[in-house]
Structure 1
């Protein structure tokens, strides 16, 4: 694995996963820029070693300075389950970050959720559209779909990667994972060449945490270079059925 130092933009940096991403990236020797709306609040919850980039995901004009001169971007922002919020914050935030990059390349790690492809779930559909934009952006990427945060038992520390998004009950039965392990996987993916163009569900099973995630990344099926969807996802969302807003954002991606 390549442990070279990167400049990493943490999006959702003051959230429960984002704060752990910031800490993990700093621990690994990366420079971290934290995208925040309120610098005063961020200074109280983030390490002093993190640089603050003030901006608003819903206002594209405020993001140019945040994405300037970054090597990688970790997106962990999330708004809940109301469709309008997921559309206007979770999805739009990804679209606006990609627009702000303006064709510059950055290594992307996007966190969505297990069950993202579940049919008939409007809020999940917008998370899936965010994934599709990342796949179509031309950037190297890893898309991580964690199970239920911190529902794991203390003995459940063995990290498991699944594909196909087949567990869709909408309950912890779909999988559980510790928050700190989510952060570890997201940050590890930035410098692990085996993680590129991989989409997977992240859960835990009984046993100790692995020292090296490379074999787990390497065992995954790689997303096709020209595909909108993950390698083993069911084809349940034809592009022709997608809303015009998404199709316009897809067409506007720099090539």
Structure 2
């Protein structure tokens, strides 16, 4: 089986990608900054990479010689690389770091490059999604067979709603907008399915259950066995909220633009997978009960 390079391997999705590729018999080369951290369990039940990686590429993607070595000899690249909670500039990570890997992949005549983007990223005004969109365009125009997967959001992202429900009230901008978030394991399987098919293209992929944001919040309250309490924030209030946030921390203001855009627009992809958000929330609630004891 050919060698697949995974970037962003220690993130929530990246860990599931490594696990899925390993399960299917791929030789996996994982880019990480710290092997010890990578071999610890990840957040939200994403797996440890211990025993799943055949070749470790330990270093920084800002190092040109490291990138060249990491890409050398691989037949495909799967990138889950992107800014999440870091303070880094998304243009440095989501665009420039991915672009450095793509350029090295083209020089090494890599067969295919799979990039995990986001649904509707080309319409969102956040710098995060602008950077992702810019890279997706570069990938589509490259000489490599490109696969671009656009999820609406992960189960782990929905923990923001779960945490609000835990505190007793969920705040929503447009409760009737729809979303079908996806578990990392299901998205990883969808990515590898398309990688192995030899196809190239652009796919919107979501989980098996479509919710309105109201229903999603009620799902969290049900798991916590709490009475639903929802407050709708008028979209008109968003502009002054973002303006205030940008004065304090521009990075957080950009994250706010990204999150609220998702709440104000339908984000529904092709339903796939076997993991259900209600079960995920129930597991999180059960963990809370266990921790109390």
TM bin, normalised by shorter chain, reads: 0.5 to 0.7
Task: Please report how far the alpha carbon of residue 206 of structure 1 lies from its aligned counterpart in structure 2 after TM superposition.
Answer: 4.1
Question: Is the 8 Å Cα contact of residues 60 and 66 (structure 2) preserved in structure 1?
Answer: yes
Of the three residues 15, 18, 31, the one matched with 1:35 is 31
Do residues 24 (structure 1) and 20 (structure 2) align? yes
Task: Please report how far the alpha carbon of residue 40 of structure 1 lies from its aligned counterpart in structure 2 after TM superposition.
Answer: 2.4
Structure 2: distance between partners of 1:200 and 1:73: 17
* Alignment-derived partner of residue 155 in structure 2: 150
Question: Is the 8 Å Cα contact of residues 83 and 122 (structure 1) preserved in structure 2?
Answer: no
* Alignment-derived partner of residue 12 in structure 1: 8
Pairing 1:164-203 to 2, within 5 Å after superposition: 173-193=178-198, 195-196=199-200, 198-203=201-206
* Alignment-derived partner of residue 131 in structure 1: 136
Question: Is the 8 Å Cα contact of residues 90 and 127 (structure 2) preserved in structure 1?
Answer: no
Do residues 59 (structure 1) and 63 (structure 2) align? yes
The 4+ residue runs of structure 1 with deviation greater than 3 A are 81-84, 205-211
Question: Is the 8 Å Cα contact of residues 144 and 201 (structure 1) preserved in structure 2?
Answer: yes
Task: Please report how far the alpha carbon of residue 151 of structure 1 lies from its aligned counterpart in structure 2 after TM superposition.
Answer: 7.0
Task: Please report how far the alpha carbon of residue 189 of structure 1 lies from its aligned counterpart in structure 2 after TM superposition.
Answer: 1.4
Structure 1: distance between partners of 2:87 and 2:124: 14
Report the structure, 1 or 2, having the larger helix content: 2
1:81 and 1:152, CA in 2 relative to 1: closer, same or farther beyond 3 A? closer
Q: Which deviates the most, 82-91 or 58-67?
A: 82-91
* Alignment-derived partner of residue 123 in structure 2: 118
* Alignment-derived partner of residue 92 in structure 2: 88
Task: Please report how far the alpha carbon of residue 123 of structure 1 lies from its aligned counterpart in structure 2 after TM superposition.
Answer: 2.2
SS in 1 for 2:192: helix
TM-score (normalizing by structure 2):
0.58
SS in 2 for 1:41: helix
Structure 2: distance between partners of 1:179 and 1:49: 16
Structure 1: distance between partners of 2:58 and 2:177: 35
Do residues 104 (structure 1) and 109 (structure 2) align? yes
Structure 2: distance between partners of 1:106 and 1:60: 21
- Across the two proteins, how many residue pairs are aligned to each other? 189
SS in 1 for 2:143: coil
1:200 and 1:172, CA in 2 relative to 1: closer, same or farther beyond 3 A? farther
* Alignment-derived partner of residue 48 in structure 1: 51
**Which ranges of structure 2 fall in alignment gaps of 5 or more residues?**
41-47, 159-173, 211-270, 275-293
Task: Please report how far the alpha carbon of residue 84 of structure 1 lies from its aligned counterpart in structure 2 after TM superposition.
Answer: 6.2
Over the aligned positions, Cα root-mean-square deviation in angstroms equals 2.8
1:83 and 1:122, CA in 2 relative to 1: closer, same or farther beyond 3 A? farther
SS in 2 for 1:187: helix
Structure 2: distance between partners of 1:80 and 1:128: 16
TM-score (normalizing by structure 1):
0.66
Tell me which structure has the larger Cα radius of gyration: 2
Task: Please report how far the alpha carbon of residue 63 of structure 1 lies from its aligned counterpart in structure 2 after TM superposition.
Answer: 1.0
